[in-house]
């Protein structure tokens, strides 16, 4: 008789593994607006099923917590029940043998603290505080609230121009976002329950590519009101577009030679071809937006001058200055901020880096733009030094993968220590201190020094990409509240003691994404309109196709292809290829039309006017 044998998974085990995968997909696709108390109960029930039953706190305690939450949901709970739940959860956390009991009780305890109002609402009134509106997940997670199922349905029908018109109701940069949007809308796509999320950004690119130039809608009759907008980036131009549609006359003040802000001077051409950016800007300008170039706030113009000349003033200057490492010799020749480095390239000032070693400090999308740009400028070797792991980088995973494919070296768990310069104050290299992963704080792993010797990275150019700031001095002098490098407004974008002055975008939120700047512009434009005494509404005359009743069989997601890495590093031409029409219609056909089925029949399923 054999001592050991190879065990094959049983049929039950195989089916259970499928169940776990389905459960993962269902959790990933959990929509906004669910009752947190009910979700806690469901989570606790799953955790209780995982217990081995050895220890009493886990076997008995989790069951008692389940019953207490069920009583709350059934309207049988009391405030005494809530206190008992809290004590029970803490007791299990302190006495459970393993992570199954501890983590389950910890999540319940966090819920009692974090959404206590929901528990109290159930206890006092037998109902949930969460809204009974069930928004479409992708629309709800889009900061600009774009009608995503609607424009995908139009793409499926081949109505590309109508798709662009529908997008522009909420986002005047359909082409730009088709190239570089970070697509938060895909995170909770219900298609995840079947196979994988819809390639929403890719389909937006299809609409923009296949539609050609589409004129903006007609503006409302003129109100005679004038609005000054500081900054010609995505936030300022979006606000100008919406305010023009409402009938107000906007004037955009831009200190740089061309419009676009960081879209033009921060994002390289290989990611966002500037002729495609110009398509969106041309459409915005067709609404009658006036532009004044070469004027800088605090030097050529002041807030008070604009307040006297205009009915309202909007500050959307973005975050276009850099953060410093705080090391000696940071002013050495060859040390440059990523903002300055990419801005020069945006101005078509492209230096020859042939034979040079380039090191970039940072792990965000701007860092990836800098290293990939340096590679295209002829650098011999390009490295990234980042103090955390690749998994902790804030850059999109696709951007990190693309950088590696183009030959970029990733030096992770390396924190800048000191800058080495020659007798002419020209950088020779940078010393980095080896780090090791440490305790998790606020959901993110921290790092600490290993105690090993510093590592030397030789470089002729050091690019610092550790974050961005705004220029605040003039605004502080003008009485505008500023804290931690951000302009402080209320939730409407207004200031308490400065009527008629508003702010939005990166300068108020801190560095964020293009689509968040556009979403902020919508909010501020609507509130400026209200401040001026109006209530204009933005809508679009596009009929959405009826939802199909055909079955939705599992089908793979269509990804955008890219040019070969060895070819694309030789120029600044666009990297991504658009889908074919056949691919686009297949991908659009994967949409489950949540605007019609399930979510869409509830109030909030589709908002056709804002």
CATH number at residue 180: 1.10.1060.10
Query: Looking at residue 33, what is its pLDDT?
Result: 74
Average pLDDT (309-326) is 88
Sign of the dihedral through C-alpha 508, 368, 142, 209: positive
| pLDDT greater at residue 483 or residue 70 | 70
Q: How far is CA 123 from CA 4, 389, 500, in A?
A: 57, 45, 44
Taking only Cα atoms into account, the Rg of the chain, rounded to an integer number of angstroms, comes to 27
What CATH number does residue 60 fall under? 1.20.1440.230
pTM for the full predicted model: 0.88
Contacts of 391 (CB under 8 A, 6+ apart): none
Q: Is 522 a member of any domain?
A: yes
CA distances from 205 to 229, 380, 514, 600 (A): 28, 34, 15, 25
| Band of pLDDT at residue 474, cut at 50, 70 and 90 | confident
Residues 35 and 56 sit within 8 Å (Cβ to Cβ):
no
Do 192 and 145 meet the contact criterion of CB atoms below 8 Å apart? no
Q: How many domains does the chain contain in total?
A: 4
Would you say residue 14 lies in a domain?
Answer: no
549 in any annotated domain:
no
User: Do residues 434 and 359 both lie within one domain?
Assistant: yes
SS percent in the chain: helix, strand, coil, step 5 = 40, 15, 45
Res 605 pLDDT > 70: no
Contacts of residue 190, defined as CB under 8 A and 6 or more positions apart, other chains included, come to 29, 31, 137, 592, 594, 598
End-to-end Cα, the chain, rounded Å:
76
Residues 349 and 459 in one domain: yes
Same domain, 143 and 70: no
Q: Do 252 and 260 form a contact (C-beta atoms < 8 A)?
A: no
Task: For residue 23, tell me if it sits in a domain.
Answer: no
Asked if residue 12 is part of any domain, the answer here is no
Please give the structure tokens belonging to residue 169. Answer: 């109701």
The answer to the question of residue 550 being in a domain is no
Strand ranges across the sheet with 461-464:
335-337, 461-464, 357-361, 381-386, 409-412
What pLDDT score was predicted for residue 23?
85
Indicate if the alpha-carbon torsion angle 375, 377, 383, 389 is positive or negative: negative
Q: Are residues 284 and 369 in the same domain?
A: no
Confidence of residue 483 (pLDDT cuts 50, 70, 90): confident
Contact 312, 531 (CB under 8 A): yes
Q: Can you give the CATH number for the domain in which 489 is found?
A: 3.50.50.60
Cβ–Cβ under 8 Å, residues 310 and 226: yes
pLDDT over 70 at 590, yes or no:
yes
End position of a domain, from candidates 421, 447, 467: 467
CB 514 within 8 Å of CB 267: no
Among the listed residues 266, 287, 293, the one whose alpha carbon sits nearest the alpha carbon of residue 176: 266
Q: Residue 411's pLDDT band (boundaries 50, 70, 90)?
A: very high
* DSSP collapsed to 3 states, 57-98: HHHHHHHHHHHHHHHHHCCCCCHHHHHHHHHHHHHHHHHCCC
Question: Could you give the residue ranges of the DSSP H alpha helices within 333-477?
Answer: 338-346, 365-376, 397-405, 473-477
Assess whether pLDDT exceeds 90 at residue 536.
yes
pLDDT of residue 233 exceeding 90: yes
For range 130-156, the mean pLDDT: 86
Asked if the model's pLDDT at residue 401 lies above 60, the reply is: yes
Closest CA to 194 of 495, 440, 483, 554: 554
Per-residue pLDDT tens digits for 102-131:
999 999 999 999 989 989 989 988 887 765
Over residues 251-272, mean pLDDT? 94
Strand 461-464 versus strand 335-337 pairing type: parallel
Whole-angstrom distance, CA of residue 272 vs CA of residue 396: 16
> What secondary structure letter does DSSP report for 327?
-
Instruction: Report if residue 16 sits inside a domain.
Output: no
Confidence label for 570 from pLDDT (cuts 50, 70 and 90): very high
354 and 440 fall within a common domain: yes
Model confidence band, residue 6 (pLDDT cutoffs 50, 70, 90)? confident
Question: How far is residue 484's CA from residue 469's CA, in Å, rounded to a whole number?
Answer: 9
Q: Which of 450, 467, 484 is the last residue of a domain?
A: 467
**In a shared domain, residues 438 and 340:** yes
Residues 490, 434 share a domain: no
pLDDT beyond 60 at 603: no
For residue 489 the two structure tokens come to: 């407004």
Full 3-state SS string of 544-608? CCCCCCCCCCCCCCCCCCECCHHHHCCCCCCCECCCCHHHHHHHHHCCCCCCCCHHHHCCCCCCC
pLDDT at 132 over 60: no
Task: Give the pLDDT score at 150.
Answer: 94
- Residue 59 is predicted with a pLDDT of 87
Residues 45 and 83 occupy one common structural domain: yes
Q: Please tell me the distance from the alpha carbon of residue 228 to that of residue 253, in angstroms, as a whole number.
A: 7
Give the domain-ending residue among 497, 515, 532.
532
pLDDT at 490: 85
Q: Please check whether residues 266 and 292 belong to one and the same domain.
A: yes
Q: Examine the pLDDT at 317 and tell me if it is beyond 90.
A: no
Q: For residue 63, what are the domain limits?
A: 33-125
pLDDT at 511: 80
438 lies in the same domain as 330: yes
pLDDT of residue 496: 84
Query: What is the pLDDT at residue 604?
Result: 53
pLDDT in tens, 53-67: 888 888 899 999 999
* Interior angle at CA 372, CA 400 and CA 560, nearest 5: 60
Question: Is residue 505 included in any domain, yes or no?
Answer: yes
Q: What is the mean pLDDT of the chain?
A: 91
586 with 498, same domain: the answer is no
**Mean pLDDT confidence for 441-464:** 92
- In this predicted structure, what is the pLDDT of residue 488? 83
Tell me what pLDDT residue 428 has. 95
| Same domain membership, residue 463 and residue 328 | yes
């Amino acid at each position: 008789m054999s001592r050991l044998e190879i065990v094959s998974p049983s049929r039950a085990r195989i089916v259970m593994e499928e169940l776990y995968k389905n459960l993962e997909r269902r959790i990933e696709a959990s929509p906004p607006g669910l009752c947190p108390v009910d979700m806690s109960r469901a989570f606790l029930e799953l955790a209780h099923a995982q217990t081995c039953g050895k220890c009493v706190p886990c076997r008995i305690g989790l069951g008692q917590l389940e019953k207490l939450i069920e009583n709350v949901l059934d309207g049988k709970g009391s405030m005494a029940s809530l206190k008992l739940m809290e004590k029970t959860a803490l007791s299990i956390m302190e006495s459970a043998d393993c992570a199954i009991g501890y983590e389950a009780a910890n999540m319940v305890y966090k819920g009692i603290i974090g959404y206590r109002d929901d528990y109290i609402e159930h206890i006092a009134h037998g109902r949930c505080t969460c809204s009974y509106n069930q928004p479409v997940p992708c629309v709800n997670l889009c900061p600009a609230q774009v009608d995503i199922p609607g424009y995908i349905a139009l793409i499926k029908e081949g109505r590309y121009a109508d798709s662009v018109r529908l997008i522009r109701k909420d986002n005047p940069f359909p082409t730009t976002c088709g190239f570089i949007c970070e697509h938060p809308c895909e995170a909770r796509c219900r298609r995840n329950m079947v196979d994988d999320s819809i390639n929403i950004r890719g389909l937006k690119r299809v609409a923009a590519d296949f539609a050609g130039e589409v004129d903006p809608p007609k503006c409302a009759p003129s109100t005679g009101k004038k609005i000054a907008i500081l900054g010609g980036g995505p936030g300022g131009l979006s606000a100008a577009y919406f305010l023009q549609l409402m009938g107000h006359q906007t004037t955009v003040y831009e200190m740089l030679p061309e419009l676009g802000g960081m879209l033009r001077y921060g994002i390289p051409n290989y990611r966002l071809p500037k002729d495609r950016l110009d398509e969106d800007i041309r459409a915005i300008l067709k609404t009658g937006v006036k532009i004044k170039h070469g004027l800088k706030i605090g030097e050529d113009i002041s807030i008070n001058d604009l307040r006297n000349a205009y009915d309202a003033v909007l500050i959307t200057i973005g975050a276009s200055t850099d953060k410093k490492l705080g090391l000696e010799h940071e002013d050495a020749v060859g040390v440059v901020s990523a903002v300055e480095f990419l801005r020069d390239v945006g101005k078509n000032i492209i230096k020859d880096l042939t034979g040079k070693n380039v090191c970039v400090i940072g792990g965000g999308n701007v860092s990836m733009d800098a290293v990939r740009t340096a590679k295209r400028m002829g650098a011999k070797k390009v490295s990234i030094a980042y103090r955390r792991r690749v998994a902790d980088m804030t850059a999109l995973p696709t951007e990190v993968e693309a950088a590696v494919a183009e030959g970029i070296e990733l030096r992770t768990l390396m924190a800048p220590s000191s800058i080495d310069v020659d007798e002419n104050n020209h950088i020779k290299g940078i010393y980095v201190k080896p780090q090791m992963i440490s305790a998790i704080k606020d959901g993110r792993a921290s790092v600490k020094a290993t105690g090993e010797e510093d590592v030397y990275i030789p470089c002729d150019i050091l690019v610092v990409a550790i974050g961005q700031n705004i220029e605040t001095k003039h605004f502080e002098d003008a009485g505008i509240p500023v804290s931690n490098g951000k302009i402080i407004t209320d939730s409407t974008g207004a200031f308490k003691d400065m009527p008629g002055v508003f702010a939005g975008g990166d300068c108020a939120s801190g560095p964020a994404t293009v689509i968040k700047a556009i979403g902020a512009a919508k909010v501020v434009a609507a509130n400026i309109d209200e401040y001026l005494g109006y209530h204009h509404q933005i809508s679009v005359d596009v009929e959405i196709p009826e939802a199909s009743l055909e079955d939705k069989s599992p089908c793979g997601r269509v990804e955008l292809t890219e040019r070969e890495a060895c070819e694309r590093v030789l120029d600044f031409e666009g990297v991504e290829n658009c889908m074919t029409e056949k691919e686009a219609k297949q991908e659009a056909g994967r949409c489950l039309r949540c605007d019609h089925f399930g979510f869409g029949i509830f109030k909030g399923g589709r908002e056709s006017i804002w």
